Structure 1
Amino acid sequence: MIINLGLFFLAAFFEIFGCFAFWLYFRLEKTPWWVALGVISLMLFAYVLTKIDVEHAGRVYAIYGGIYIVASLIWLILVEKESFNRWDIIGASVAILGAFIIFAGNAKV
């Protein structure tokens, strides 16, 4: 269960980093190398999701959705140096609660 949680956050890092790399290129006009890094990171994201010990892909994606929201807010603070507001906290709390319910009910013990 703990390994799965770590894999979810690792997948989130790769997805957010990959998408942020595209953001840097298309929105902030950084070097095209960011696109290459983004593609590699997104491939790693997809690979890591396949290693999570939950039987059906749809459930993995549902659980991941909540983790992704929380990880995105962590990214917001650590990388973009922007604080979140109470609506971010409330929304992330609801999402992570839903993800945990699905995870707890379907994770292999």
Structure 2
Amino acid sequence: MIVARSLLLFVLAAFAEIGGAWLIWQGWRENRGLWWVAAGVVALGAYGFVATLQPDANFGRILAAYGGVFVAGSLGWGMVVDKFRPDRWDVVGAAICLIGVAVIMYAPRHTP
């Protein structure tokens, strides 16, 4: 149950961060306006709070593992929202990142 919760939180964090950055991009680079930028800032703030809900208490571990989720999530977001088509090296790189997430977060640890 703890792993499922952690994975869900990683997905929520990715949605908030990637979505927030995308909204800012749309507002600024695509000239959609400051409301889009403001919504992006709010989403990025939500990302920061979602990360605090992870069951592991180590900030560095959470952020390092989330980096891999961010990589894979960004490619997924690009595919769905921007119709980006990743090549095989994008997919291989994202898979390596997700393996890293699993090792960092869910490897058995023996604490003294």
Identity %: 36
Structure 1: gaps (5+ residues): none
Out of 45, 54, 62, the position equivalent to 1:60 is 62
1:65-104 residue pairs with structure 2 within 5 A?
Answer: 65-104=67-106
- Report the Cα distance in structure 1 between the residues aligned to 2:96 and 2:25, rounded to whole angstroms: 27
Question: Does structure 1 conserve the Cα–Cα contact (< 8 Å) formed by 2:14 and 2:69?
Answer: yes
| TM-score normalised by the chain length of structure 1 | 0.93
Question: Does structure 1 conserve the Cα–Cα contact (< 8 Å) formed by 2:28 and 2:34?
Answer: no
The question of 1:36 aligning with 2:50 is answered: no
- Report the Cα distance in structure 1 between the residues aligned to 2:20 and 2:46, rounded to whole angstroms: 9
Supply the AA of the counterpart residue of 2:9: L
> Helix, strand or coil for the counterpart of 1:25?
helix
Larger relative contact order (CA 8 Å, sep ≥ 6): 1
- Report the Cα distance in structure 1 between the residues aligned to 2:36 and 2:28, rounded to whole angstroms: 10
- Report the Cα distance in structure 2 between the residues aligned to 1:22 and 1:50, rounded to whole angstroms: 23
Question: Does structure 2 conserve the Cα–Cα contact (< 8 Å) formed by 1:69 and 1:95?
Answer: yes
Q: Which runs of 4+ in 1 moved over 4 A?
A: none
| TM-score normalised by the chain length of structure 2 | 0.91
Q: CA deviation at 1:106?
A: 6.6
Q: CA deviation at 1:83?
A: 1.1
Equivalent residues, number: 107
